[in-house]
Each structure stands twice: as C-alpha cells, then as structure tokens.
Structure 1
Amino acid sequence: MTDDVSGRLLDAALNHVAFDGWSETTFREAVAEAAVDPVVARGLYPRGAVDLAIAFHKRGDAAMVRKVAETDLSAMRYRDRVAFAVQTRLEVVKDREAVRRGMSLFALPMYAPDGAKLIWGTADAIWAALGDTARDFNWYSKRATLSGVYSSTVLYWLGDDSVDHQATRAFLDRRIEDVMRFEKTKAALRDNPLLKRVFAGPERVLSKVRAPQAQKDMNVPGGWTAPR
C-alpha cells in the first residue's frame, strides 16, 4: 500500500476492478474507500478510471525498472537480459485480472492511442533499464520490435494456466528467437554486394534520424523538441 493520495486511490480501485472493470463505478468506489475529496481525486485523475488504469500500468513499469536495477545481469547473454526484463514486467503485476480489464479498455477505439503509448513506454523503460545507448534509427526500431514482442506475450500470459507460467516463458523465448533470426537475415542482406546499392539510398536517409533529445513525453515516438 502507498501513503500518497494518488497511490491510495489506485490501491482502492484495484479492489473493484475485477468486478466493475476500469469504469466510473470503480473510480467512485475508490474515491469513497480512500476517503479522498472527489475534487482532489478528479484533479489527480481527470478521466477517472482511464487515468487510474494508466497509473496502474506505469506502476508496473517502475517496479520492473527497480527489479532489473537490483539484479546482476552481467552473466546473461543480451537476448536473455531482454527476456528477463519482459518476464519481470509480467511478474511484478500481482493482479492479472486488472491487466485483462486494462487490455479490454485500451482496445476501445477512443483509448487505443493511450494503450499504444503505454506499450511503447514499457518497451522504452526496458531498453533504458538494460542500458541501451542507441541514439540513431535503432532507438526507434528496438522499441517498435520490443513493443510487438511484449504485447503478444502479455496476451499469451493472460490465458496461460501452466505451472509458474512456464508456457509464457517458452512463448517469449520463441518471439525473441524470431527477432534474432530476423536481425541475422537483415545483416546478411546488408553484406550482400548486390543489395548494398539497393539499400544505400534508404540507409542514407535513416542515418540522419536521431533519438529524441529534450522530450516532452518519453513515451511518444516523435514527441520531442527539436534541438536548435
């Protein structure tokens, strides 16, 4: 449990999400249960339960970052570090039904942009926690690829009833193997003398792409202030 008002509201909401989803009913019940002034609660979460669901997701990201920082990953291969971070992000969430309800909420057209933003934010948090230093186009490609891996793994995890979610771990390993295979194929194509000329133009364009500098929002690709 947390002592801050926003945290208390979120903790209270989690007692009701399994029954009422991330809904206005859940928001009102959380406000009453946490004994928070409704005006203050609305100021913290202007869209009510939608913003509570976003806070719940970001709380999971923060917990994952702390766990990765506390773990010695030096003996792991890089692909295993990525798998560990994704698996950790799943394990720090104790309320799987709250995640399921969140997936349903962010599948709605009006909230789909929020959902995409959260997935991107999780991928960004994972790469940052692993010490990623890419500042070129790879900054985007890494996060886009991991967003796909993470989102598909979450969907699999929600339906996984295997012991200790072993099936989810195996699924995640397969997805990462697919990514590694794609990267190897891409590298082989780039080394092909006949194809180097084909890729020369696009690579010149992509070489000018840089990661965000002074960002307004780290979770949004392209959401930055251009350097002067």
Structure 2
Amino acid sequence: MSDRETITALLEAVKLHVPFDGWSAAAFEAAVAESGVAPGVAEAVCPRGAVDLALAYHAEGDELMLERLTATDLSEMRFRDRVAFAVRARLEAVEDRELVQRGVTLFALPQYAGDGAKAIWGTCDKIWVALGDTSEDVNWYTKRATLSGVYSSTVLYWLGDDSPGYQATWDFLDRRIDDVMQFEKVKAQVRDNKVLSQVFAGPLKILDKVRAPQASGRHDMPGQWRGE
C-alpha cells in the first residue's frame, strides 16, 4: 500500500469519528484500528496524527473542486462569476460541515494556525491557477491574499448558515467578491491617474520589484525580489 493509499484509508475511517471527537488523538487511534493500517505505518505517514489527516481532508476537497472546475465550461461566465463558482464548488465538495467546523477549531489553535493559513492559501492558489492566472508580479500575492480573505469569511458564514440551499452564503460570497472588484478598480485608477501615480511613485516602484515564487514552490508565500 502506497503512502497515498494509506492516508486515504485512514481518512475514510477517521471521518466517522471527527464529528464526535474532533481531529484528535482519539479519532486518529480509532481510525488506525478500524482501517487495518499498522500503527507504525500510520505514524510514519501521519507523524502529527489527526492534524495531518485534517490537512489531507482539506487537500481532498481541493482535488474535488478542481475536478468540477475542469468538467465545467466557464467560458460564458464573467470572470468574477468564475471566481464565485470556484469558491462555491470548493464548499460544495464538503460532505459533512461538522468535519470543517472541527477543522476550523483545530487550526484556530496557535500551534496549528500556520498550517491552516497555508492550506487556505493553497486552495486560493489552485483556484487562480485553474482560472488561468499568469501574473508574475505583486498581483500574484494580492490576488491570493484577497481571495484567502473572501474564502475564509465565506467558510465561517457558511458554517452557521441554515438557509435553504445555503442561498444566504452564496449571496454573502457575491457581496464579498463585489467588494474585491471595487478594490481592484481603485488600484487600476491609481496606476492610470497621472497625478496619483506620481504621488505613489515610490511605493509603486518598490512593488514592481516583487516577483512570484518559482514554479517549484508555488504554494510558498515568499517570492523573489528583483534588484536593480
């Protein structure tokens, strides 16, 4: 059994226990016992136990989202609607909200906050790549940072949404994306306005030096600084 197959077996087993025990040591031990994976092998592929399975669960949702994006014709959609569709597809990939709720609780802990932030950043990076983003400058960061905020706030809203078909969540998502579009419009106006571009000439020159990470490290937040 490969490492991926082992993690898949553990993940399927742990999903039954997370709603009751959270992404905890107890849930991990139960998953090991029920999956038939040897304890030593389980610890080797998941050295942090349930934390690693929680991250694997998040990655599984990303894969399902990408499958849906690939299978959907987005060509007739406005770009802002493509982004909204991608975020919605990511949330609709979740089979049990309680698993996400428990994950939010886990990654709110200081020792795991970095893991949670990286997972969200990775999701947003996958969305932008799937939608054809080719930016290599500071926009690579601002797009992902902004979408991370939209995605995170939408997840929190969705977790408490009892409206039919989660319509309140999709309306909330549309409002957040409209806010982002307004921000992007202001950015463009600053660059296109001769007076404003002169006022912000220094900061804009600095930002122009920022470069996206190399392809081999696309999910890492640090980028490259292009010197004179």
TM-score range, shorter chain: over 0.9
TM-score of the aligned structures, taking structure 2 as reference length: 0.94
2:220 counterpart of 1:220: yes
Alignment of 1:42-57 (within 5 A): 42-57=43-58
Letter aligned with residue 40 of structure 1: V
What residue is the counterpart of 2:41 in the other structure? 40
Alignment of 1:62-211 (within 5 A): 62-211=63-212
Instruction: Give per-residue Cα distances to partners, 1:177-211, cap 9 Å, x unaligned.
Output: 00111111222233333211122111211112111
- Unpaired stretches in structure 1, ≥5 consecutive residues: none
Contact 1:215 1:223 in 2 (8 A): no
Letter aligned with residue 210 of structure 2: V
Instruction: Give per-residue Cα distances to partners, 1:150-190, cap 9 Å, x unaligned.
Output: 00000000000111100000000000000111111222233
- Unpaired stretches in structure 2, ≥5 consecutive residues: none
Question: d(CA) in 2 for partners of 1:48 and 1:79?
Answer: 38
How many residue pairs get aligned? The number is 222
Letter aligned with residue 147 of structure 1: S
Letter aligned with residue 164 of structure 1: G
Contact 2:83 2:127 in 1 (8 A): yes
1:214 deviates by 4.4
Question: d(CA) in 2 for partners of 1:5 and 1:134?
Answer: 37
Question: d(CA) in 2 for partners of 1:156 and 1:78?
Answer: 23
Letter aligned with residue 11 of structure 1: E
Contact 2:212 2:223 in 1 (8 A): no
Cα 1:223–1:58 change in 2 (3 A) is: farther
Task: Using the TM superposition, name which of 170-179 and 123-132 deviates more.
Answer: 123-132
Letter aligned with residue 76 of structure 2: A
Instruction: Give per-residue Cα distances to partners, 1:53-79, cap 9 Å, x unaligned.
Output: 000001101110111011000000000
TM-score of the aligned structures, taking structure 1 as reference length: 0.94
Letter aligned with residue 106 of structure 1: F
Contact 2:211 2:223 in 1 (8 A): no
Question: d(CA) in 1 for partners of 2:142 and 2:74?
Answer: 23
Question: d(CA) in 2 for partners of 1:206 and 1:184?
Answer: 18
Letter aligned with residue 62 of structure 2: D
Question: d(CA) in 2 for partners of 1:134 and 1:36?
Answer: 43
What residue is the counterpart of 2:31 in the other structure? 30
1:223 deviates by 6.9
Letter aligned with residue 37 of structure 1: A
* Matched-pair identity in %: 63
Contact 1:153 1:171 in 2 (8 A): yes
